[in-house]
Amino acid sequence: MTFLQDAFMQRALVAAILIGITAPAVGIYLVQRRQAIMGDGIGHVALTGVALGFLTGTNPVWMAVLVSSAGAVAMELVRARGRTQGDIALAMLFYGGMSGGVLLIHLSPNGSNANLLSYLFGSITTVSQEDVVVIGILAAVVVAVTVGLRRQLFAVCQDEEFARVTGLPVRLLNIVLAVTAAVTVTVAMRVVGLLLVSALMVVPVAAAQQLTRGFAATMAFAVAIGLTVTTSGTVYTYYVDVPSGATIVVMAIGVFLAVTALAAPLAKRRARRSAAPVSEEAECTLEPSRSRSPEDDVRV
């Protein structure tokens, strides 16, 4: 436990814990809506914000929050307007954000590709005292939204049309979710990097949902996985000189694979148990009156 005595390591661990909680907590809603890739898009746009921070001499984290929130709201508006050309519009946003970032960083006096790299792939050991404060505030907001509005966001991501008819402010909730996702991306970028942040939003959820039956349980399990990989990945980089972001994501994928291996026999057993009352007979027997079951309906 010698690593706990270093101040930079303490800061890194606090940041890792906050990210381990927030990223899966937001990611679960994106996965629920089958928008798992949205975190990636926000990450690209956030890069322009970081570069803008360097260019204007302001804090890159706050600037990234602003720019990526604007980008996330734009993506949400494109999504809500309908599917037509929506993916093209999103692609424009992805590429525009990335190229804008690279362009702006070269225009800024004290920016270079080296600075950008630490944001692209994360470098937890350079997390400053100020960063920890900013990350702490933002993480508190993210947890308040994702846990406090769980039922509302669940309903909106589950069935948007139904949610609108219950009278929920669906558009507002969608924008709140988009901004929360953007905030999470910027919170996590110092640790896992903008290119890998989406992995931490998606992979723990993908792993958790193989063993769970409910949404709340999936959320809790995904956060537990997130916490485990971010903290253990951070500690690992204390002993071995490797980038924290890549380490954490590889660990997350490792957990995903382990859970998958574990879940397969479990799912098989569960399926066998639920199928048991139906298939009493060992083989299929053709019976004239029962040759077609209602499930055979192939209407589209």
Partner 1 sequence: MTALMPGPRAEQETSVEPTRNGSGEPVISLRGATASLGARRVLRGVDLGVERGEVVALLGANGSGKSTTVRAVVGQVPLSGGELSLFGTPYRRFRQWRRIGYVPQRTTAASGVPATVREVVSSGRLSRGRLRPLRRADRAAVDRALELVGLADRAKDSVNALSGGQHQRVLIARALAGEPELLIMDEPMAGVDLAGQQVLAGTLREEVAEGTTVLLVLHELGALEPLIDRAVVLRDGCVVHDGAPPPATGQHALPGHDHVHPHAPEEPIRTGLLT
Q: How far is the CB of 164 from partner 1 (least distance, A)?
A: 7
Choice between 209 and 230, CB closer to partner 1: 209
Q: How far is the CB of 300 from partner 1 (least distance, A)?
A: 9
Choice between 54 and 221, CB closer to partner 1: 221
Which are the contacts of 190, defined by CB distance < 8 A and separation ≥ 6?
15, 61, 119, 122, 123, 124, 126, 127, 131, 135
Choice between 31 and 189, CB closer to partner 1: 31
As a whole number of Å, the CA-based R_g of the chain is 22
Choice between 47 and 179, CB closer to partner 1: 179
Residues lying near partner 1 in the complex (CB under 8 A) = 28, 31-34, 36, 149, 151-152, 154-155, 157-159, 161-169, 205, 209, 212-216, 218, 270, 274, 289-295, 297-299
Q: How far is the CB of 155 from partner 1 (least distance, A)?
A: 4
Q: How far is the CB of 28 from partner 1 (least distance, A)?
A: 6
- The alpha-helical segments, DSSP class H, found in 149-288 are 150-158, 160-165, 170-192, 197-208, 215-239, 244-275
Q: How far is the CB of 30 from partner 1 (least distance, A)?
A: 8
Choice between 59 and 160, CB closer to partner 1: 160
* Lookup result for tokens 């800024």: 108
**Residue 133: both structure tokens together:** 């404060």
**Residue 188: both structure tokens together:** 């996590």
- The answer to whether 218 and 209 are in contact (CB under 8 A) is yes
